[in-house]
A and B are shown apart, each in its own frame.
Chain A
Amino acid sequence: MTATQVRAPDGLGAGESTPARRRRAKPPRSRRTWREQLTGWGFVLPASVIVVGLSVFPAGWAFVISRQKADLISPAENVGWDNYRLILDDPNALEAAKHTLLFTALFVPTSIVAGILLAVALNRPLRFQWFYRTCIFVPFVASAAATGILANFVFDPTYGIADNLLRVLGLPQQGFLEDPNQAMAVLVLICLWGEVGFNVVIYLAALQSIPNDVVEAAVVDGAGPISVFRYVTMPELAPVTVFTAIWQTITALQLFDLVYTTTKGQPGDATVTIVYYLYRQAFELFHAGYGSALAYCVFAVTMVFTGLLVWYARRSGTEAF
């Protein structure tokens, strides 16, 4: 294709002169030597090897295992799609999936709303602003294992600080992580504490990239703070929100480490999430084939969720990716 004439950009009115002819310098095909190609491959090869070796290849093998009756120790036996069929008849897998969806439904919207509110608050000129920002971000840097162990102490129904606080306030004592009706909600709370810092940082960056003149123009036109937030800030944050929603959904669907370090699925398996369930199957009960099949289902669901969000974002004109 040879570009002989550059099309006038949209918006240029009739009568304006067409831009001068530009000849785009394009290297002749012959100059792209094998040497250049090799150099190019040389640059991408190390990363490719890592990606293929540590992600694509293991994923492929996990698929092979998912069609086997395997414990990873004794010789495996091919069983076709039996492991996948078993999932459909496994009430515990269904329960675990429900717990994961409940967690996702509670966690993702809350983390986004909390992230926006905190970011807006921290975007104002405040004394000790750096201190508040650090406070919010530190839990995100702490490992989930540390967060979980800490939470165990805070929410211990007998000796924990949370119940002590309730006692001081004259409120009834709670079971928290040991009450089947509260455990999931408490997990959401712990996870929010750890993850909200990430959203805050993302939204702070987005808020600071909103041009001041747009805001000022809105104010000049008579918009109050709420209207500015509703009609200027919110639309500007939409692309970022698509990103945080996808990110936090993946975090929520793959929730494992917090469960592992706090409840181990207890009480009464009320906090067994799907990834914790597949870990238990593959590594505690020696059902590696079944565990792999579950992992592939989680992968498929995550893909669908992400695809739907991207599709929705594109349809509504929000370019996030």
Chain B
Amino acid sequence: MRRPSRLTAALAVLALTTLAACSSGSDHSGTTAVTTLDPDKDVTITWWTGQDSEADELLQKLADEYTADHPNVTIDLSPGADTTDDLLQKLQAGFASGDYPDVSYTYGSWASVLGKSGRTLDISDQVAQPDAGWDEFPEAARATATVDGQVIGLPAVVDNLGLIYNTELFDEAGLDYPTDDWTWDDFRAAAKALTDPSKNQFGTAYPTDGGEDTVWRFWPQVWQNGGDVLDDDGMPAFNSQAGVDALEYWRELAVDDQSVYLDQTDQKFEPNFYAGHIGMLISGPWVLYDLKSHKTPYAVAELPGTDGSHQTISGPDLWTLYDHDDSQRAAATFDFINWLTQPAQDVRWNLAYGNLPLRSSAADTPEFAQYGKDYPGADVFFKNLENATTPRPTVVGYTAMSRAVGSAISDVLRGDGDPQDKLDEAADAAKIDLQ
């Protein structure tokens, strides 16, 4: 056959995973004690980085450095999958066959599911040690790494959403730059003023592919309005007045003002901002690298606020640790990842890539000062971590709920449907998976 059909591929993956799930059978329950590393016993740990080759080279250097100091430890590094997105499928197959890594990069949104697998290490006691510096990680990142009271990994990348604006377009329109006192009304007025259909120029942009990228940028406004994603029982609460107001706000911008570039591919809005077609972008530190290479004239501010609240959201990714019933491996894995996240190493990995430092203690390093100069606005994003006070929910049903909310937001922004009705529908659909 010409192309291996997706259906066959999907069936194959599904089958392989069950095969192992049935055959291996042994119940890992995350009970291996993570002791201290025995320097006389040789140990090999497998590390799936989920990074492209350029980033992998950087990480390989750091791994070599660690193994030079710990000659009994061998680190077997590989990306693990072609893309970071594919890592989850590789992990599923790995769990099934019993051949999974000691540590892998994982998206924060997978944490709850992975935590339920019974294959993750519980490092709660280790991070509780005073010298582990657990409190130096942002609150949202700590919350994401904690599933049902167990800490299953350490933060790998932390970020948050801020307001990035094109200074040149602001100057042309004769507008004042956004300040920390900005409200969403100011944002709307600016978006309107920056929109020019004759030049295909938009005030701002919103991805409407209905995925998590559509959804997570919606939560800060719900929180700012005094609402929440889930209620105390873990059931949908986003269809409250706070949620409806937030969605109505964006409906007015997108449908009434026509000042929003709606991108249903989720691929084009950022490049269009780099190219100067869009005035304001709600995005995170991961675009700083591209903004720099495109030489876009930009500056960064925190999100516009509601009644003085400038809450934002953080979407941390994790180094998740896995259990192999081997305390020496577990100890080596934790020791290495803990070392990797220390400022001395972190500045050469995350900061070199334009990412925010993982630990607040990294702010005192000279590399951080240089990073602020290399990537203008990075300091604003770092400071903005303080505004990420509410963690994104880490319940198992979140992905299914996110899909339902994503459809609701996309429909309303396209002018199809009323915010209250659409959010109610999404809440009903989400209940099934949240139960």
A residues whose Cβ falls under 8 Å from a Cβ of B = 54-55, 57-62, 64-65, 68, 70-76, 143-144, 152, 156, 158-159, 177-178, 180, 254, 256-257, 262-269, 275, 278-280, 282-288, 291-292, 295, 298-299
**Among all A-B residue pairs, the 8 with the closest Cβ atoms:** A58-B15, A61-B15, A256-B6, A72-B92, A58-B12, A266-B264, A73-B117, A74-B116
- Is A60 in contact with B15, judged by CB distance below 8 angstroms? yes
- Is A65 in contact with B14, judged by CB distance below 8 angstroms? yes
Chain B residue numbers with a CB within 8 Å of A60 are 15
Name the CB-closest residue of B to A302: B7
Question: 22 A-B residue contacts at CB 8 Å?
Answer: A57-B15, A58-B14, A60-B15, A64-B15, A72-B21, A72-B96, A73-B117, A144-B3, A159-B272, A178-B262, A257-B3, A257-B6, A264-B209, A264-B265, A266-B209, A266-B210, A278-B10, A279-B6, A280-B403, A284-B403, A288-B14, A299-B7
8 Å CB contact of A72 from B14, B208, B407, B416: B14
8 Å CB contact of B14 from A61, A75, A178, A285: A61
B370 at the interface (CB under 8 A from A): no
Name the CB-closest residue of A to B93: A72
8 Å CB contact of B210 from A75, A144, A256, A264: A264
8 Å CB contact of A264 from B11, B96, B211: B211
Interchain CA distance A291-B89 in the complex, whole Å: 14
**What would 19 more interface pairs be, CB under 8 Å, given A73-B92, A286-B113?**
A57-B15, A58-B14, A59-B11, A62-B15, A70-B21, A73-B113, A74-B113, A74-B117, A76-B21, A152-B268, A158-B200, A262-B265, A267-B208, A267-B414, A279-B10, A280-B403, A282-B10, A282-B14, A285-B433
Interchain CA distance A268-B200 in the complex, whole Å: 24
8 Å CB contact of A285 from B10, B95, B403: B403
Q: Say which size band chain B's interface belongs to.
A: 35 or more
Chain B residue numbers with a CB within 8 Å of A178 are 262, 264, 414
Chain B residue numbers with a CB within 8 Å of A295 are 7, 10-11, 14
Residues in B239-287 with C-beta less than 8 Å from chain A: 261-262, 264-268, 272, 277
B400 at the interface (CB under 8 A from A): yes
Given contacts A72-B18, A158-B200, A268-B414, contact A54 B12 (CB under 8 A): yes
Chain A residue numbers with a CB within 8 Å of B19 are 57, 61
Identify the interface centre among B7, B118, B416: most chain A CB within 10 Å of its CB. B7
B341 at the interface (CB under 8 A from A): no
Given contacts A152-B268, A280-B403, contact A73 B116 (CB under 8 A): yes
Name the CB-closest residue of A to B433: A285
Chain B residue numbers with a CB within 8 Å of A254 are 5-7
Interchain CA distance A60-B200 in the complex, whole Å: 53
Given contacts A264-B210, A268-B416, contact A71 B113 (CB under 8 A): yes
Chain B residue numbers with a CB within 8 Å of A71 are 113
Interchain CA distance A62-B21 in the complex, whole Å: 12
CB distance from B41 to the nearest CB of A (A): 31
Given contacts A58-B14, A72-B92, A292-B11, contact A263 B6 (CB under 8 A): no
- Is A283 in contact with B89, judged by CB distance below 8 angstroms? yes
Chain B residue numbers with a CB within 8 Å of A159 are 200, 272, 277
Interchain CA distance A298-B12 in the complex, whole Å: 15
Name the CB-closest residue of B to A178: B264
Chain A residue numbers with a CB within 8 Å of B92 are 72-73
Interchain CA distance A159-B263 in the complex, whole Å: 12
Interchain CA distance A65-B18 in the complex, whole Å: 7
CB distance from B162 to the nearest CB of A (A): 25
Chain B residue numbers with a CB within 8 Å of A64 are 15, 18, 22
Name the CB-closest residue of A to B416: A268
Name the CB-closest residue of A to B27: A75
Interchain CA distance A126-B9 in the complex, whole Å: 42
Chain B residue numbers with a CB within 8 Å of A266 are 208-210, 264, 410
The proximity string for B residues 390-420 relative to A, scoring 1 for CB distances below 8 Å and 0 otherwise, is: 0000001001100100010011001010000
Name the CB-closest residue of B to A266: B264
Chain A residue numbers with a CB within 8 Å of B272 are 159
B16 at the interface (CB under 8 A from A): yes
- Is B411 in contact with A268, judged by CB distance below 8 angstroms? yes
Interchain CA distance A278-B5 in the complex, whole Å: 14
Interchain CA distance A94-B279 in the complex, whole Å: 41
